Amino acid sequence: MQITGLQVYSLAYGWHALAVGEKVTLKAGETLKVGITVPYKGKAQNFTLYGAIGSRNKLLVPIVDINWFDEMLFGRATLPCPESETEFATVEGSVDILIPTNTPSVTNYDLYVKIEEQPAVMDEVDDVIDIVAASSIWEMIGPLLVLGLMAAMVGMMSPMMKEGFE
């Protein structure tokens, strides 16, 4: 598996793409979309794509090398794989990871993506994500106000849509 693309979603700007390996700064309330490609050969089936933001920790002890990923935020998505019994097919998928509004500021987070049913099929990028906490109450409430206004407009317009024209 290979991470092939990163996109960030914000209410203010919509989706915008980033170069793989480029460090990304996410704001609380945004969503990170992680794109992947993976070669697949087998019967048609659905897998679960799992993406996580956190810290790779490595502890070297004299006898054992202990390596784990401390997940802070994660997301899941279905990865449909087509039937391809004789040749490998390139399957593309993506998983969204929401950054909650109460997330504190953190730098140098790592990112990994795996197929849950086949954990050895995974990819990761170290020190690629910084998260910036919402700095003011207006920064947290602003996106909600926009959504509220949109909902109010739809509510005002729906009686007009139901009546139709004569």
Give every CB contact of residue 16 below 8 A, 6+ residues apart in sequence.
7, 8
Decide if 157 is inside a domain.
Answer: no
Q: From edge to edge, which strands make up the β-sheet containing 84-98?
A: 14-18, 2-10, 31-42, 84-98
Decide if 153 is inside a domain.
Answer: no
**What is the pLDDT at residue 82?**
93
| Polymer length of the chain | 166
Decide if 20 is inside a domain.
Answer: yes
Decide if 76 is inside a domain.
Answer: yes
Beta-carbon neighbour count of residue 137 at 10 Å? 8
Kindly report, residue by residue over 51-75, the tens digit of the pLDDT.
999 888 755 555 555 667 788 899 9
Amino acid at 93: G
Decide if 149 is inside a domain.
Answer: no
Domains of the chain: total: 1
Binned at pLDDT 50, 70 and 90, residue 145 comes out as low
Decide if 95 is inside a domain.
Answer: yes
**What is the pLDDT at residue 5?**
66
Please give the mean pLDDT across all residues of the chain: 77
Predicted model pTM:
0.71
What CATH number did the domain enclosing 49 receive? 2.60.40
What is the extent of the structural domain holding 106?
A: 2-134
- Residues facing residue 53 across a β-bridge: 73, 111
DSSP state of 162: H
Kindly report, residue by residue over 4-45, the tens digit of the pLDDT.
666 766 666 677 777 766 788 888 888 888 888 888 899 999
Decide if 139 is inside a domain.
Answer: no
**What is the pLDDT at residue 4?**
67
